[in-house]
């Protein structure tokens, strides 16, 4: 907007003194907050923040945008907690470029337009630049145009259907092919499975996942076929008819992409109908899921899922040193809430990666500017990841491994197999569309 005043010089003088005053107050506050930047002369604010983000001499502000109320709060709480843990640990180590991290948290309230509105608030009013947030694909799709228009950076933690890559998003969860293909290969090679029954909740992620699974089974696995494919509405609680169909079809693999509260009904009714891990194993069948993590099992009850298999990139029981430290730190930070029995699932771990990857990227770029972060992201590594080593691909997804876990009575998973190499993320898989 052109400046309507006839004395621009005077106004800009006033503006300048206002800005100076604000900056003075800001830096005074930073000192009052008890933190001064030890490396400020090396990374002056004018150099690391050229686009007017809410980043001062001593502090950098980030946004956090998850649902803490509404139906998705169940799933997103773990992500909120893991991101806060990572940020606390980074702050304890002295922050990023000498600046400690402040969080502005907003609640998406499980409502997609609210996510969009809050994203606007964080990027335009609060000028945070980087946001850790979202969980469902619907919420990500709602905020994506805003992140692209306002040039923000979103660290998105959930495994999802793929078919997306944005300069303004880093996807720390698996895209569909990373989670599906290797798991199907495992069922085929290790368990000799030939027939598959695909089951899912009725929305984009399960449908896309099963589409990829079907193509892989029919085209890439030898002599294998899909003997059924079924979808039920989200929140559906009655699976008896479906279970009868599965019994009649006698598939080697029941492939489940049932999500949310439906999971509890689905597994309880399977057990009530006499389908358990043991009864399937006796008939050389198995149930493989890509949608049930430790988080869900806590609500379902270990006795209902014992002996079923899941394909994820992370399980809480992974024995490596990074993970032991991570789980211990998580328990320590939230000891009042979980009394040392915190349950950490795949997405929670992926959310924990977000702040660390951001830190590594900012340090590599030497800047908080979003364009520089986006450009510096490819090949950024994080060796301290609980899941093991991860690296950002040039398509902004992560290279990561896939693993098979067997569900146990106590709600944990026993890791049975893992892919030998990091799997390349491929959000637009040729031949799987």
Partner 1 sequence: MTAKIALALLLAASAGYSWDEIKGVMIMQGFAGLSLFSIFLLMALGLAIIFGQMKVINMAHGEFLTMGAYTTVFLSWLCESYAPGLLAWYFPVAMILAFFVAGSVGFLVEFAIIRHLYKRPLDTLLATWGLSMILQETFRQIAGARETSATMPEWLMGSLQPFEGVDIPINGIFLLGASLVLTVIVVINLYYTRSGLRVRATVMNRDMAGAVGINTRMTDRMTFALGCGIAGVAGAAFTTVGSISPSAGGLYIVDTFMVVVFGGAGSIIGTILAAFGIAQAQSVLEFFLSGVLAKVAVLLAVVFILMIRPQGLVVAKIRK
* Residue among 183 and 206 whose Cβ is closer to partner 1: 206
Q: 294: which residues sit within 8 A by CB, 6+ positions away?
A: 315, 316, 343, 344, 345, 411, 412, 413
In whole angstroms, give the CA distance from residue 65 to residue 131.
Answer: 7
Least distance in angstroms from the C-beta of 273 to partner 1: 5
In whole angstroms, give the CA distance from residue 172 to residue 386.
Answer: 13
Part of the chain binding partner 1 (CB under 8 A), chosen from 11-19, 175-183, 210-218, 242-250: 242-250
Instruction: Check binding of 409 to partner 1 (CB under 8 A).
Output: no
Instruction: Check binding of 77 to partner 1 (CB under 8 A).
Output: yes
Over the window 43 to 72, marking each residue x when it contacts partner 1 by CB under 8 A and - when it does not, the resulting string is -------------------------xxxx-
Q: What is the DSSP letter of 425?
A: P
Instruction: Check binding of 282 to partner 1 (CB under 8 A).
Output: no
In whole angstroms, give the CA distance from residue 377 to residue 361.
Answer: 6
Instruction: Check binding of 105 to partner 1 (CB under 8 A).
Output: no
Instruction: Check binding of 378 to partner 1 (CB under 8 A).
Output: no
Instruction: Check binding of 230 to partner 1 (CB under 8 A).
Output: yes
In whole angstroms, give the CA distance from residue 405 to residue 403.
Answer: 6
- Determine the size of the site formed for partner 1 (CB under 8 A): 42
Instruction: Check binding of 302 to partner 1 (CB under 8 A).
Output: no
In whole angstroms, give the CA distance from residue 401 to residue 179.
Answer: 9
Instruction: Check binding of 236 to partner 1 (CB under 8 A).
Output: yes
Rounded alpha-carbon distances, angstroms, from residue 90 to 102, 265, 354: 11, 40, 12
* Residue among 20 and 409 whose Cβ is closer to partner 1: 409
Instruction: Check binding of 271 to partner 1 (CB under 8 A).
Output: yes
The residue within the footprint of partner 1, chosen from 272, 281, 324, 416 (CB under 8 A), is 272
Part of the chain binding partner 1 (CB under 8 A), chosen from 85-93, 152-160, 210-218, 240-248: 240-248
Part of the chain binding partner 1 (CB under 8 A), chosen from 166-174, 179-187, 232-240, 413-421: 232-240
Residue in 381, 389, 297 with CA at minimum distance from that of residue 345? 297
The residue within the footprint of partner 1, chosen from 135, 159, 232, 309 (CB under 8 A), is 232
Instruction: Check binding of 330 to partner 1 (CB under 8 A).
Output: no
Q: How far is CA 347 from its chain centroid?
A: 5
Instruction: Check binding of 211 to partner 1 (CB under 8 A).
Output: no
In whole angstroms, give the CA distance from residue 403 to residue 387.
Answer: 10
The values of phi and psi at residue 265, to 5°, are: -65, -45
Residue 350 in contact with residue 157, Cβ under 8 Å?
A: yes
> Distance between the two ends of the chain, CA-based, in angstroms?
46
3-state secondary structure of 289: strand
The residue within the footprint of partner 1, chosen from 2, 274, 340, 431 (CB under 8 A), is 274
Element (H, E) at 393: none
The residue within the footprint of partner 1, chosen from 8, 44, 235, 378 (CB under 8 A), is 235
In whole angstroms, give the CA distance from residue 419 to residue 424.
Answer: 12
Beta strands in 302-429 (DSSP E): 309-312, 381-382, 390-392, 398-399, 403-407, 413-418
In whole angstroms, give the CA distance from residue 325 to residue 345.
Answer: 15
Instruction: Check binding of 242 to partner 1 (CB under 8 A).
Output: yes
Least distance in angstroms from the C-beta of 140 to partner 1: 20
Instruction: Check binding of 94 to partner 1 (CB under 8 A).
Output: no
Instruction: Check binding of 340 to partner 1 (CB under 8 A).
Output: no
264's tokens: 């509890």
Longest dimension (CA), the chain: 87
Instruction: Check binding of 299 to partner 1 (CB under 8 A).
Output: yes
Residue 300 in contact with residue 265, Cβ under 8 Å?
A: no
Name the pairing type of β-strands 403-407 and 398-399.
Answer: unpaired
* Residue among 201 and 349 whose Cβ is closer to partner 1: 201
Part of the chain binding partner 1 (CB under 8 A), chosen from 161-169, 292-300, 316-324, 412-420: 292-300
Name the pairing type of β-strands 403-407 and 413-418.
Answer: antiparallel
Least distance in angstroms from the C-beta of 413 to partner 1: 18
* Residue among 17 and 237 whose Cβ is closer to partner 1: 237
* Residue among 265 and 400 whose Cβ is closer to partner 1: 265
The residue within the footprint of partner 1, chosen from 27, 172, 265, 316 (CB under 8 A), is 265
Least distance in angstroms from the C-beta of 300 to partner 1: 7
- Which residues are near partner 1 by CB under 8 A? 68-71, 73-74, 77, 202, 230-233, 235-238, 240-245, 247-248, 260-261, 263-265, 268-269, 271-274, 295-296, 298-301, 303
């Amino acid at each position: 907007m052109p400046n309507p005043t006839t004395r621009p010089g005077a106004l800009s003088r006033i503006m300048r003194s206002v800005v100076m005053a604000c900056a003075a107050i800001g830096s005074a506050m930073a000192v009052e907050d008890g933190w001064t930047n030890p490396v400020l002369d090396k990374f002056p604010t004018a150099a690391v923040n050229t686009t007017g983000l809410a980043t001062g001499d001593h502090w950098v502000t980030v946004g956090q945008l998850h649902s803490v109320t509404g139906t998705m709060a169940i799933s997103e709480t773990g992500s909120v907690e893991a991101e806060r843990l990572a940020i606390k640990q980074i702050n304890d180590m002295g922050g990023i470029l000498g600046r400690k991290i402040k969080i502005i948290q907003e609640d998406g309230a499980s409502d997609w337009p609210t996510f969009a509105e809050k994203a606007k608030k964080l990027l335009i009013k609060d000028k945070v630049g980087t946001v850790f947030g979202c969980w469902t694909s619907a919420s990500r799709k709602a905020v994506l145009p805003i992140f692209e228009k306002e040039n923000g950076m979103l660290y998105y933690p959930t495994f999802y259907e793929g078919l997306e890559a944005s300069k303004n998003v880093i996807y720390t969860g698996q895209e569909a092919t990373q989670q599906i293909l290797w798991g199907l290969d495992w069922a085929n090679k290790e368990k000799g499975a030939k027939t598959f029954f695909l089951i899912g909740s009725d929305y984009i992620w399960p449908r896309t996942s099963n589409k990829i699974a079907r193509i892989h089974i029919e085209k890439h696995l030898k002599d294998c076929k899909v003997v059924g494919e079924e979808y039920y509405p989200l929140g559906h609680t009655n699976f008896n008819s479906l279970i009868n169909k599965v019994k009649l079809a006698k598939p080697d693999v029941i492939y489940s992409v049932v999500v949310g509260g439906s999971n509890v009904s689905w597994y309880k009714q399977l057990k009530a109908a006499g389908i358990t891990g043991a009864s399937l194993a006796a008939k050389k069948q198995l149930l493989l899921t890509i949608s049930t993590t430790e988080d869900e099992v806590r609500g379902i009850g270990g006795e209902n899922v014992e002996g079923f298999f899941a394909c994820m990139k992370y399980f809480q029981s992974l024995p490596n040193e990074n993970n032991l430290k991570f789980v211990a730190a998580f328990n320590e930070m939230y000891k009042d809430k979980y009394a040392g029995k915190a349950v950490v699932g795949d997405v929670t771990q992926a959310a924990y990666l977000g702040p660390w990857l951001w830190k590594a990227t900012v340090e590599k770029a030497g800047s908080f500017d979003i364009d520089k972060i986006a450009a510096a992201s490819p090949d950024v590594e994080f060796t301290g990841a609980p899941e093991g080593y991860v690296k950002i691909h040039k398509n902004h997804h992560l290279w990561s491994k896939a693993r098979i876990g067997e569900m146990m009575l106590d709600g944990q998973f026993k890791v049975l197999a893992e892919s030998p190499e990091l799997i390349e993320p491929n959000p637009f898989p040729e031949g799987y569309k």
